Amino acid sequence: MTSTLFTDARLIDPDAGTDTRGWLLVRDGRIADSGTDAPPSTDAATIDCGGRCLAPGIVDIGVKVCEPGERHKESYRSAGLAAAAGGVTTMVTRPDTIPAIDSPETLEFVARRANEAAPVNVLPMAALTKGRAGREMTEIGFLMDAGAVAFTDCDHVTRDTKVLSRALTYARSLGALVIGHPQDPGLSAGAAATSGKFASLYGLPAVSPMAERMGLDRDIALIEMTGARYHADQITTARALPALERAKRNGFDITAGTSIHHVTLNELDVADYRTFFKVKPPLRAEEDRQAIIAALRDGLIDSLSSMHTPQDEESKRLPFEEAASGAVALETLLPAALRLYHAGDLDLPTLFRALSFAPARRLGLASGRLARDAPADLVLFDPDAPFVLDRWKLRSKSKNTPFDGARLQGKVRATYIAGTPVYEAS
């Protein structure tokens, strides 16, 4: 049995809601013990954390890895290296590949590639409908047997409510988790910005925040009808929050997430049509950003993710309206999220509740905690270390980050999977 003792660590436990100075003992890949008193005498290898933070590794729901079909944008190897450098110990990957991951054979291919190439845990999601076309549901049972942890058509919103209700009913019978993208597809088609004064001034095709509210209202009605387990991938507007709060209060099996870009950026960051800031849904008004942060703090929004979406230079070096949406964020997720900590919006246990504990709990994982016998998937980081981000140093194949040249605070010093280092800063 291998053992490692982390000493002089600032232990961030989102399950217990604590931020304490102490030690943590890992034995045979799992957390064996921890405390705030003197470290125990042991023959374990000792790592002096020097007062840095030791927290559960990030569980990132909604990572796009472009295998199969667009390996030049991102591979499982490059995404895995980026994740490890960013403190992400579990990537929950999206099925919006070419072709879509909608069959057991395709799912087995990506699971094998991930196991061969990625140094971190990879849990694949599968499409809810064949080809993500919204016409015929996939073989949910077979895909679960092949390893799918959830089902989603990503940003292809199913227009046919009868098809969606049947898929939700079938998913409910199997206990499968369905992840939806709350958006009215008619209103949001072709939008590049959020409607308002800024979009009008810049002449950008825009979508009302009500499109998100309308999409969520429809999904909640179907959840009430079917009893399905449901997770909203991104709640980004204040208009959607009352509906989410009512659904939770009524006891529906619903959780929600948001993306790092929607809590750290707003619509004004687009500035001179900078396409690295074009994401989906589009960046919102500052009032929405503040409302989403408050919902994260209160636990109304459960999780915070990267929504990592690699795009090559040719897809982004276009007029804003024509450019592809999305940004890479596996390596920038933690330092960007620490902006909320440094601004006094969230303390570290609350932040890691959203980054680690809540997504792990939603997926039924034992990780995301510093409890005894939990997997020793950990991140060691210095929350105060300043740096200027250079996108060309990112490990992702694509470099489309809105944080290029930004001053950030918070560096990952090491990432551990089952107590074994998969990344150590030089």
What pLDDT is attached to residue 208?
Answer: 96
d(CA 301, CA 292): 8
Quick check: 1 pLDDT over 90? no
Dihedral angle sign, alpha carbons of residues 415, 418, 419, 420: negative
Question: Which spans in 36-137 are helix H?
Answer: 76-85, 104-117
DSSP state at residue 174? H
Task: Show the tokens assigned to 283.
Answer: 């960046």
What residues contact 24, with CB distance under 8 A and at least 6 apart?
5, 6, 9, 11, 31, 33, 34, 54, 370
- Please give the CATH topology (third level) of the domain spanning 56-362: TIM Barrel (3.20.20)
pLDDT mean over 131-148? 97
What pLDDT is attached to residue 215?
Answer: 98
| Amino acid identity for residue 326 in this structure | G
What residues contact 87, with CB distance under 8 A and at least 6 apart?
55, 57, 58, 333, 334, 379, 381, 412, 415
Grade residue 41 by pLDDT with cuts at 50, 70 and 90.
Answer: confident
User: pLDDT (tens digit, 9 = 90+) per residue, 46-81?
Assistant: 999 999 999 999 999 999 999 999 999 999 999 999
What pLDDT is attached to residue 196?
Answer: 93
Q: Which helix (H) or strand (E) holds 58?
A: strand 58-63
Q: For the chain, what percent of residues have pLDDT higher than 90?
A: 97
User: pLDDT (tens digit, 9 = 90+) per residue, 209-238?
Assistant: 999 999 999 999 999 999 999 999 999 999
User: pLDDT (tens digit, 9 = 90+) per residue, 294-348?
Assistant: 999 999 999 999 999 999 999 999 999 999 999 999 999 999 999 999 999 999 9
Q: For the chain, what percent of residues have pLDDT higher than 70?
A: 100
- The answer to whether the beta carbons of residues 341 and 348 sit under 8 Å apart is yes
pLDDT mean over 154-174? 97
- Of the candidates 285, 320, 282, which has an alpha carbon nearest to the alpha carbon of residue 197? 285
What pLDDT is attached to residue 298?
Answer: 98
d(CA 303, CA 234): 9
User: pLDDT (tens digit, 9 = 90+) per residue, 237-287?
Assistant: 999 999 999 999 999 999 999 999 999 999 999 988 999 999 999 999 999
**Model pTM greater than 0.75?**
yes
Quick check: 426 pLDDT over 90? no
Residue spans per domain, the chain: 56-362
What pLDDT is attached to residue 223?
Answer: 98
What pLDDT is attached to residue 107?
Answer: 97
| Amino acid identity for residue 407 in this structure | R
pLDDT mean over 98-105? 97
What pLDDT is attached to residue 2?
Answer: 87
Q: Which helix (H) or strand (E) holds 10?
A: strand 3-13
d(CA 84, CA 78): 10
- Of the candidates 329, 330, 318, 310, which has an alpha carbon nearest to the alpha carbon of residue 397? 310
d(CA 101, CA 103): 6
Dihedral angle sign, alpha carbons of residues 384, 385, 386, 389: negative
What pLDDT is attached to residue 42?
Answer: 87
What residues contact 73, with CB distance under 8 A and at least 6 apart?
66, 310, 311, 312, 397, 398
